[in-house]
Structure 1
Amino acid sequence: MVYCRMWKCSHRSLSDHTGNVPAMPLLIAIACACLANLYPLSVSADPDRPGKHTDVFRLFTQHIQRQIELDKTAFAQASGCTNWFYHQDKQPAAPPIAQPIRLDLVLQSPNKEECLRAYPRGLDSVRQDFQRTQASLSVSLTFYEYALVGDRDDDGRYSRAELQDIFPALALTFDPSRSPVAQAASLAGRFDDWYRLRNLEHLMTGMAQLYDKGYRVSPADRAELDRVTR
């Protein structure tokens, strides 16, 4: 009866000439009220419930993956053109620089026109670009490894405890009151900053901090790293 009186007061224009409310709208109003009680809009705030931090892991790793794909393309071109220019000069190709992550890339060699268009100054410019693109790819892959290692139990999400370890290792402050999207943005921003500087040293220091707390590269992490380098 409470819902009936409230509905009459706020919807007088729907009454008929006798002043009575039609039965069907009244039934709809009561049904809506019942559904509201059965399915409340608010969700209990469990700070560590499954799925709460899923977006942090997903958004962070997807951000890095997008850069990895760009780096793979750039490195493939620089590597292929380096080999092409060395072949033209009848010189052996330059050996790759050692990197923390093995780069198992299936490279499609660029053609002559692509190499001459991309590197009109020839061997010197392509050699510099080869080193630059390899270093960039190494940073993005190592950061991706860091993101995977931070998911300690490989459940595809960051728990609060994991976030409390991941943030300080990247010289960031973890604020549990911030939304998952905001937390992911902070991690992505750190990636962008250190990527631009090719700051592999600080990244490896952060990785060492996780290792000191028992984090390790799991078989699942290794499989995912192998997948993104193909």
Structure 2
Amino acid sequence: MSAHPPTVQWPKARLLAASLSFTMLICTLFPGDSLGSDNAIFQEFTRHINRQIHKDKQAFAQANTCVSWFYQSGKTPPPTVQGIGWSPTASSQLEEDCLRHYPRGMNDARADLAKTQALLSVSLTFYQFALVADRNDDAIYSPVELQDMLRSLTLSYRDEEPTPKQVTALMERFDSWYRSRNMDALMQGMSDLYERGYRVTPSDRVELDRVMG
């Protein structure tokens, strides 16, 4: 008669306790802020810049188109007569748009073209900075990459800071330098990254071409 190995019976209470202990261990090793959110900072930061680039491209295209239209047509805006509303003829939608956006004509359009070009340059350069800071192109800022990037932007870095706070700091730095068109500070930050060995990679160039296209 063959002997069968004894079957170990785990009480339900012990199984539940083991399960809870394992869950607590996982939460300790991988805090909730990091679970499934390793790429949160990269994704949120680049998305924030990308939205501004889209707006800047539209504004620049409008100004550039109207400068060309004013130049080719040689038109000046019609005189304003008090109490009489002026509406353009149905020559084209472009004429309507340009005269509405730039009531003083070519000078208005040229000034806006210079402004929108400068702003687009800042947003595109900041996007390049964000890509370069992801040194190995894995769409994730490692702790070292994040530390280097924050310091290059004259921001403090603390290991214990939660992801949302770090994302907010990066977005606020972008917004501040974008509004002031602080290209000097941005280029200094890029120089700091280069001194640490960061470079524009072929993958970065492909992404920049896509965004600029």
TM-score, normalisation: structure 1: 0.72
The aligned residue for residue 70 of structure 1 is 55
CA distance in structure 2 between the aligned counterparts of 1:34 and 1:177, rounded to whole angstroms: 29
Distance in 1 between residues matched to 2:162 and 2:145, nearest whole Å? 16
Long gaps (5+) in structure 1: 1-27, 91-109
Q: Where in structure 2 are the equivalents of 1:113-192 lying within 5 Å? A: 113-192=96-175
Q: Distance in 2 between matches of 1:176 and 1:56?
A: 14
Equivalent in the alignment of 1:226: 209
Q: Say whether residues 1:43 and 2:20 are aligned partners.
A: no
What residue is the counterpart of 1:7 in the other structure?
none
- Identical pairs, percent: 49
In 2, Cα distance between equivalents of 1:181 and 1:227: 28
Cα distance, 1:79–1:29 mapped onto 2, change above 3 Å:
farther
Match in the other structure for 1:86: 71
- Alignment CA distance shift 1:50-1:204 (3 Å): farther
Are residues 1:55 and 2:40 paired? yes
Structure 2 distance, partners of 1:33, 1:113, is: 73
2:194 paired with 1:211: yes
Quick one: distance in 1 between partners of 2:140 and 2:155?
Answer: 19
- Normalising by structure 2, report the TM-score: 0.78
CA RMSD of aligned residues (A): 2.6
Matched positions, count: 184
Q: Supply the distance in 2 between the matched residues of 1:138 and 1:220 (Cα, whole angstroms).
A: 20
Structure 1 runs, 4 residues or longer, greater than 3 Å off: 28-42, 44-47, 49-53
Q: Which stretch has the larger CA shift, 180-189 or 133-142?
A: 180-189
Deviations 1:46-104 (A, max 9, x none): 69x896541111111111011111111111101111111111129xxxxxxxxxxxxxx
* 1:30 Cα deviation after fit: 8.7
Deviation string 1:134-190 (CA, Å, 9 cap, x unpaired) is 000000000000000000000100001111110111111111111111101101110
User: How far did residue 43 of structure 1 move?
Assistant: 2.2
Q: In 2, distance between residues paired with 1:83 and 1:52? A: 47
- Deviation of 1:210 after TM superposition, in Å, equals 0.5
Give the partner amino acid of 2:69: W
CA contact 1:53–1:180 (8 Å) conserved in 2: no
Code of the residue aligned with 2:48 in structure 1: it is: H
Aligned residue for 1:94?
A: none
How many angstroms does 1:128 deviate by? Answer: 0.2
